[in-house]
Structure formats: C-alpha cells, structure tokens
C-alpha cells in the first residue's frame, strides 16, 4: 500500500509511520569485535539506535535476553571470486549458522542463494576495500542480492576506502536494481561505531518487519542528514530533508543535477528553504532516458544521506 500525499506523489520511503535507526554491520567477541554481544547492544542503544545486526564472520550470533534494542542474528560470509579474490557478504536475518562456509566457501551467486534459502537478505560489504568491479557482479541481475554498502565507516576511517558510490552507480547504469546501505562495520566500539545508520520505515519494531522493509526498499542510509519524505509523481521528485548544503540528483554518467548553497554549485531544480533560509528540500524534474535516479544530500558537518534508486512512475 502506498500513501498518496495531498500535494501529489507517493512517498518512496514507504507507507509506514515508525522509523527505526539501524546498525546493520557490527562484530562482537564471537568473531573479531572487542565487545560482547550484550554490551554492544547497550552501546548502540545509548548511541540512539533501535536495531543492531550482529554480523560476526561465519558465525550467526544469536539474540541476547532482555536486549534494550532489537537484535538481528546475521553474519558476514566470504564468497570466493577466484584468483585469491573475495567478496564479503552480509547475510542479515539468516535462520541458520553459516560456519561450514568457512571451510567450504561458495561463489558469490551461491552464497547469496544460501542466504536467501535461509531466510536472510544480502548486501555486499565494502566493495571499494575488496576491490570489486562491475564484472564481479556478472550474472547477478535478477538474483536475490538486495544491494551494496555505499558507505563503510571502518574502511573510511582506516584507509579512506569507505565510499563505494562509483561502483554502485556503475551497476545501476548497467541495469542492476541495487539498493545501498551505510554501516559502521564496528570492531572497536567508541572508535568505529555510531557513524552510519540505515533508517528503516516499518509498521512496528520487529525483526520480521525490518527484514521485510529492507526487501521492500523502505529505507534510506545516512551519516548525518535525515530525509523526511521523497515524493515521486509523474513530473516531479520532491525531497524534504534536514538542513543541508547540497542536494543532488544522480542519474548516470553526465546526468542529474545539484542544488547547493555554495556559490561553487550549478543549480538544477528548485530549492526549498525554511524560514531561516536553510536548504531543507528540493524539487527536481525526472530525467527522460536516465538509467536510474537517486538522491544524495550533504550537510555542513560532512554527513551524507543516500536514497535508494527511486521507483519512477
Ligand atoms: Zn568485511
Ligand atoms: Zn565486517
């Protein structure tokens, strides 16, 4: 069910009223993280999160009794690409333990299939850090792969290899309909935690609802700015966000447009400003023939928010 807004357009962030702040990639003492599962839940709860996915390497770390926030048993699994190369894959919400895949790793397509067969959803982790190219995704069109990490805090802090938007856009241009998430990949809480979030829209806080909202793409990702709504109609894309210094429509090579508050910005579309003059939204026209359309917003503190590719009417 979609909600049609009075001003026109469907909110592509989803019809539900509850927004949960999710940390979807974090390690505990069950693999190479510093903090035990129960303590990590407390840590992320204090940092303002509602949901934490345990993604220990090849281990499905279970939920914890009396958890302050929702825990999603999950895992990070290495998939072999051949030639000594690997893709790390997040299996979120899996119902089985993947430890046998450490001894007998599968290829990327087979790993995604195993996660799907066991009730989970798949995102490819830190593709920049892993050196992945679009060729590594060959044959995955139409597979249950939901998306990639567009931002990984640990890879950014350690090596400046956290932002994978170039690969993501390349895949979108080739016709892959992939979402993207922003995660911490936390190993050392307090250092590499509380930076990235996935904001999921659900009708109630449950693991089932979060997994299904990920499947439905009722979410956006952020390291700072928030999206209030993204209304899409026949001739118009209307973005409402927290105060930002730029809002950009990405639509493939050479296509799109940016609204920025700096003088060093071309202007495409119409800005929406609040009473104090802050940029809090934008209205864009869809771009005919574009392979995809997605929106990115940046704030003055260096934070970025990413929508998924927008379903255009
Ligand atoms: Zn990894
Ligand atoms: Zn990891």
Render pLDDT for 34-57 as a digit per residue (tens, 0 to 9): 999 999 999 999 999 999 999 999
Rounded (to 5) percent helix, strand, coil in the chain: 20, 35, 45
- Judged against a pLDDT cut of 60, whether residue 265 lies above it is answered with no
What is the β-pairing status of strands 70-82 and 51-54? parallel
The protein residues having their C-beta less than 5 angstroms from ligand 1 (an ion) are 88, 125
Report residue 1's pLDDT band, with 50, 70 and 90 as the boundaries: very low
Report residue 65's pLDDT band, with 50, 70 and 90 as the boundaries: confident
Which is nearest to 19 in space by CA: 229, 191, 255? 229
89: Cα separation from own chain's centroid: 13
- DSSP at 112: H
Quick one: pLDDT at residue 7?
A: 61
- DSSP at 309: P
Distance 88 CA to ligand 1 centre (A): 5
- DSSP at 37: H
Which is nearest to 297 in space by CA: 237, 253, 235? 237
Distance 313 CA to ligand 2 centre (A): 36
Neighbours of 3 (CB within 10 A): 13
Cβ atoms of 291 and 172 within 8 Å: the answer is yes
Distance 79 CA to ligand 1 centre (A): 11
Quick one: pLDDT at residue 274?
A: 94
Distance 305 CA to ligand 2 centre (A): 21
Residue 271 main-chain phi, psi, to 5 deg:
-75, 155
Quick one: pLDDT at residue 106?
A: 98
Residue 174 CB-density burial (10 A; 0-12 exposed, 13-18 middle, 19+ buried): middle
Quick one: pLDDT at residue 266?
A: 58
Region 265-287 average pLDDT: 87
Residues 6+ apart with CB under 8 A from 36: 28, 29
Distance 146 CA to ligand 2 centre (A): 17
Query: Whole-angstrom Cα distance, residue 227 to residue 94?
Result: 29
Cβ atoms of 309 and 179 within 8 Å: the answer is yes
Distance 159 CA to ligand 2 centre (A): 15
Beta bridge partners of 244: 279
Q: Which ligand is nearest to the CA of 88?
A: 1
Q: Which ligand is nearest to the CA of 130?
A: 1
Distance 155 CA to ligand 1 centre (A): 9
Q: What is the pLDDT of residues 77-122, one digit of tens each?
A: 999 999 999 999 999 999 999 999 999 999 999 999 999 999 999 9
Which is nearest to 225 in space by CA: 302, 134, 115? 302
105 vs 7 pLDDT, higher one: 105
Q: What is the pLDDT of residues 202-235, one digit of tens each?
A: 999 999 999 999 999 999 999 999 999 999 998 8
Structure tokens at 246: 């730029």
Residue 118 CB-density burial (10 A; 0-12 exposed, 13-18 middle, 19+ buried): middle
> Mapping DSSP to helix (H, G, I), strand (E, B) and coil, where does residue 108 land?
helix
Residue 263 main-chain phi, psi, to 5 deg:
-70, -20
Which is nearest to 115 in space by CA: 95, 100, 132, 99? 95
């Amino acid at each position: 069910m979609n909600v049609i807004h009075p001003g026109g357009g469907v909110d592509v962030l989803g019809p539900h009223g509850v927004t949960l702040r999710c940390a979807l990639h974090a390690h505990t003492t069950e693999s190479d993280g510093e903090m035990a599962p129960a303590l990590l839940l407390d840590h992320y709860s204090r940092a303002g999160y509602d949901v934490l996915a345990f993604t220990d390497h090849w281990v499905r770390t279970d939920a914890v009794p009396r958890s302050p926030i929702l825990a999603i048993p999950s895992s990070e699994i290495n998939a072999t690409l051949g030639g000594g190369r690997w893709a790390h894959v997040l299996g979120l919400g899996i119902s089985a333990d993947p430890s046998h895949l450490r001894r007998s790793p599968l290829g990327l397509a087979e790993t995604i299939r195993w996660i799907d067969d066991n009730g989970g959803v798949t995102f490819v982790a830190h593709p920049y850090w892993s050196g992945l190219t679009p060729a590594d995704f060959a044959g995955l069109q139409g597979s249950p792969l939901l998306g990639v990490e567009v931002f990984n805090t640990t890879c950014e802090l350690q090596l400046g290899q956290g932002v994978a938007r170039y690969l993501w856009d390349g895949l979108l241009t080739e016709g892959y309909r992939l979402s993207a998430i922003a995660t911490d990949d936390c190993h050392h809480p307090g250092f590499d935690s509380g930076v990235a979030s996935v904001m999921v829209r659900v009708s109630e806080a449950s693991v089932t609802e979060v997994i299904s909202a990920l499947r439905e793409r009722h979410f956006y990702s952020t390291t700072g700015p928030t999206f209030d709504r993204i209304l899409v109609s026949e001739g118009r894309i209307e973005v409402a966000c927290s105060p930002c210094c730029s809002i950009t429509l990405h639509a493939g090579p050479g296509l799109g447009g940016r609204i920025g508050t700096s003088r060093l910005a071309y202007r495409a579309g119409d800005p929406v400003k609040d009473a104090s003059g802050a940029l809090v939204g934008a209205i864009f026209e869809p771009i005919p023939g574009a392979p995809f359309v997605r929106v990115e917003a940046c704030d003055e503190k260096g934070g970025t928010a990413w929508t998924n590719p927008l379903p255009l009417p």
